[in-house]
């Protein structure tokens, strides 16, 4: 599947994430990014994760593909990847109820170190430079602490104007998924959970409830997306997975043909599933090397740090409409991600591996 870029300019996103960053990204930069994506697509999962993180960054510079928000598209692929990787992790290291607590420790050590590092850096920038953003307009010490907990971040409607890392709402959702996935996998209820969540998704799809909130940001309507990735790793019923994928395409076609169904972000969510399911399946067949591992390691920092850098560039007066703004932001994001990976993530990776090895040793004892 190739990206077709028809529109790349200022475009205000619908819903609570509009008016993020002033200024368009140049068409040249957008074309270069998507050409690079097409050139390496299907090769490596680590590179794919890094490209998804860059896509989230670009979405906050108002990049649109066919009028759609590529950030939503990328986040759905992250859900699929998470379901795939978590099922593999549980099968290999945490396959019994007695090891669920260790799984939670493993995941906390993955999510929190860099997250808290960038929370602290952002709060320091806010205290020193006072960047202007609707995400910071009502920030207090108490709400900053609420951000640091991570788990409630996808409920940001209840503390508007207080998102220290705006895109981290999806980490709140992912943390909730981490809580339930070992119970689902070990308890062998993946199929039931998938069907229940997919049926619930029909409510936001048909606008019975808020599509943006319940079809994209809350676990009841997104759990089946994570579990799609899980079924791609461990295929208990290939025919059922194919049938579910066909239904995704039918729902996606509905957003193209029926205007009342095309609400934020129904089309982008279903496009992300339509593209992401075969993408993850193909990438799972590819060989894995150190370059891909490094790209995957850098992806989390890029995902976390780009609003910090956007506000930093704003504070020093950089013109966000300059043609070199986007490549400068991407380069700075990659550079800062490299630093946070070396000083924060890499030592924690060693600890996580030690925990997994100890868990495996105890299970064999």
Predicted confidence (pLDDT) per residue in 205-264, tens digit: 999 999 999 999 999 999 999 999 999 998 777 899 999 999 999 999 999 999 889 888
Residue 10 lies in a domain: no
Residue 12 lies in a domain: no
CA distance 126 to 136: 8
Q: What is the pLDDT of residue 173?
A: 98
Question: Nearest to residue 52, comparing CAs of 33, 66, 67?
Answer: 33
Query: How close are the terminal C-alpha atoms of the chain, in Å?
Result: 48
pLDDT per residue as tens digits for the range 92-103: 999 999 999 999
Total number of domains in the chain = 1
pLDDT per residue as tens digits for the range 119-168: 999 999 999 999 999 999 999 999 999 999 999 999 999 998 999 999 99
Residue 67 lies in a domain: yes
Is residue 14 scored above 60 in pLDDT? Answer: no
Residue 1 lies in a domain: no
Residue 258 lies in a domain: yes
Which H or E element spans position 93? helix 70-93
pLDDT band at 6 (very low <50, low <70, confident <90, very high): very low
Is residue 88 scored above 90 in pLDDT? Answer: yes
Is residue 26 scored above 90 in pLDDT? Answer: no
Structure tokens at 320: 């966000």
Is residue 346 scored above 80 in pLDDT? Answer: yes
Sequence-separated (6 or more) residues with CB below 8 Å from residue 42: 279, 282, 283, 286
Q: What is the pLDDT of residue 345?
A: 94
Coil/strand/helix, residue 65: strand
Residue 2 lies in a domain: no
pTM of the predicted protein model = 0.86
Q: What is the pLDDT of residue 241?
A: 92
pLDDT band at 17 (very low <50, low <70, confident <90, very high): very low
On average, the pLDDT of the chain sits at: 87
Question: Nearest to residue 27, comparing CAs of 13, 9, 39, 11?
Answer: 9
pLDDT band at 196 (very low <50, low <70, confident <90, very high): very high
Higher pLDDT, 83 or 21: 83
Domain that holds residue 100: 21-360
Q: What is the pLDDT of residue 332?
A: 97
Are the C-beta atoms of residues 139 and 122 closer than 8 Å to each other? Answer: no
Residue 181 lies in a domain: yes
Residue 14 lies in a domain: no
Is residue 12 scored above 70 in pLDDT? Answer: no
Q: What is the pLDDT of residue 46?
A: 87
pLDDT band at 67 (very low <50, low <70, confident <90, very high): confident
pLDDT per residue as tens digits for the range 247-291: 999 999 999 999 889 888 999 999 999 999 999 999 888 777 778
CA distance 357 to 177: 24
Higher pLDDT, 342 or 22: 342
Is residue 29 scored above 80 in pLDDT? Answer: no
Q: What is the pLDDT of residue 44?
A: 54
């Amino acid at each position: 599947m190739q990206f077709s870029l028809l529109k790349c300019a200022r475009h205000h996103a619908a819903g609570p994430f509009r008016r993020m960053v002033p200024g368009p990204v140049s068409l040249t930069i957008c074309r270069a990014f998507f050409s690079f994506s097409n050139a390496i697509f299907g090769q490596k999962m680590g590179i794919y994760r890094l490209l998804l993180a860059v896509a989230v960054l670009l979405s906050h510079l108002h990049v649109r593909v066919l009028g759609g928000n590529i950030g939503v598209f990328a986040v759905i692929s992250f859900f699929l990847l998470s379901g795939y990787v978590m099922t593999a992790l549980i099968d290999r290291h945490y396959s019994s109820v007695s090891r669920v607590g260790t799984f939670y420790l493993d995941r906390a050590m993955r999510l929190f170190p860099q997250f808290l590092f960038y929370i602290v850096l952002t709060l320091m920038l806010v205290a020193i430079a006072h960047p202007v953003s609707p995400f910071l307009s009502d920030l207090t010490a108490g709400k900053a602490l609420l951000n640091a907990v991570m788990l409630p971040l996808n409920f940001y409607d209840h503390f508007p104007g207080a998102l220290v890392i705006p895109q981290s709402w999806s980490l709140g959702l992912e943390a909730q998924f981490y809580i339930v996935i070992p119970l689902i996998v070990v308890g062998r209820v993946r199929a039931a959970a998938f069907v229940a969540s997919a049926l619930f998704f029909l409510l936001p799809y048909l606008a019975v409830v808020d599509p943006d909130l319940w079809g994209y940001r809350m676990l009841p309507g997104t759990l089946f997306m994570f579990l799609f990735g899980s079924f791609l790793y461990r295929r208990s019923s290939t025919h059922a997975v194919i049938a579910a994928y066909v239904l995704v395409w039918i729902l996606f076609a509905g957003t193209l043909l029926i205007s009342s169904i095309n609400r934020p972000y129904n089309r982008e969510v279903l496009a992300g599933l339509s593209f992401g399911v075969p993408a993850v399946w193909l990438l799972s067949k590819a060989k894995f090397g150190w370059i891909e591992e490094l790209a995957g390691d850098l992806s989390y920092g890029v995902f976390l740090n780009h609003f910090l850098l956007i506000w930093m560039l704003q504070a020093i007066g950089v013109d966000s409409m300059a043609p070199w703004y986007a490549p400068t932001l991407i380069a700075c994001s990659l550079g800062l991600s490299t630093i946070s990976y070396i000083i924060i993530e890499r030592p924690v990776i060693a600890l996580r591996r030690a925990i997994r090895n100890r868990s495996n040793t105890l299970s064999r004892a």
